[in-house]
Amino acid sequence: MTFIPLKAVIVEDEEESLHLLDNLIEASGLANVTGSTTDPGDAIGLIVSLEPDIVFLDIKMPVKTGFEILDDLRKIKFEGPFVVFTTAYDEYALKAFDYAAFDYLLKPVDPARLTESLLRCIESRKKDQKQHADMLYATTRKILVRNISGISVIDPAEIVYIEAEGNYSVFHLSNNRIETATILLGKVEEELSADMFFRIGRSFIINLDYLKKISTKQLQCTLSANGSDYKCNISRSKLGELLEKIKGK
């Protein structure tokens, strides 16, 4: 059976970076760049018209970010390509995977890492596992958090609660694992599913699936996981909203 290279599109606002990535992709022998642009405003039209298998999408661009372009694709229900975010800033890793991106590459792009991503795309295409727009905010996705030693992968379903500690956020997981991330709690809140998680005050975000009891008198809730109970303080201003949230679940 003849191998058919992937069709790739690159959206990158810097001309030099675009050419470097184009050369790396072509040199891999696994994909052909069928279109590219340095203008984020042209990205949607280019992607829809060319129907690529994979899109390499820079995150930090003027006028429109890579995340906003992906949002626009979702709005028009264009479900075709795998999306690989590219950026020189690793602080976007959490959000990139929160968007259910197929992959995330740091610039300067490592050729071996690029090849790995392309091979995974080819394998996934064989299995007909294309991304769908309704997967972009799926609660089953894995998320990434940066800590002092690197990046940790966390399954949202395993998060019992998250606690603010200054400029850090401490993830308490159902298997008694604790991950301290170098991200503010407010930023974490933006990345989590509102159906599963709720911020009960300045210091805590809880996973509603582990909520066992609410004490309206003590302004405290109890979470239970694997036989262990955890108590978190509730802000008075959030109590009513939490009770309404529970009624709706």
pLDDT value of residue 152? 80
- Count other C-beta atoms under 10 Å from residue 191's C-beta: 17
pLDDT at 160 over 70: yes
Of 145 and 97, the one with more pLDDT:
145
Q: Which residues pair with 214 in a beta bridge?
A: 221
* Numbered ranges of CATH 3.40.50.2300 in the chain: 6-135
pLDDT band at 96 (very low <50, low <70, confident <90, very high): low
Distance of alpha carbon 152 from alpha carbon 173, whole angstroms: 13
User: What span, in angstroms and rounded, lies between the C-alpha atoms of 193 and 187?
Assistant: 13
Average pLDDT over residues 11-23: 95
Model pTM greater than 0.85?
no
- pLDDT, position 134: 39
CATH of domain 143-248: 2.40.50.1020
DSSP annotation string for 124-169:
HHHTT----GGGTT-TT--EEEEETTEEEEE-GGGEEEEEEETTEE
Summarised one tens digit per residue, pLDDT across range 194-245 is 888 999 999 999 999 999 999 999 999 999 998 899 999 999 999 999 998 8
Statement: residue 132 has pLDDT above 60: no
Residue 30 has pLDDT above 70, yes or no: yes
CATH of domain 6-135: 3.40.50.2300
Write out the residue limits of the CATH 2.40.50.1020 domain(s) in the chain.
143-248
Residue 137, pLDDT > 60, answer no
Over 70: is that where the pLDDT of 97 sits?
Answer: no
CA 182/CA 216 separation, integer angstroms: 32
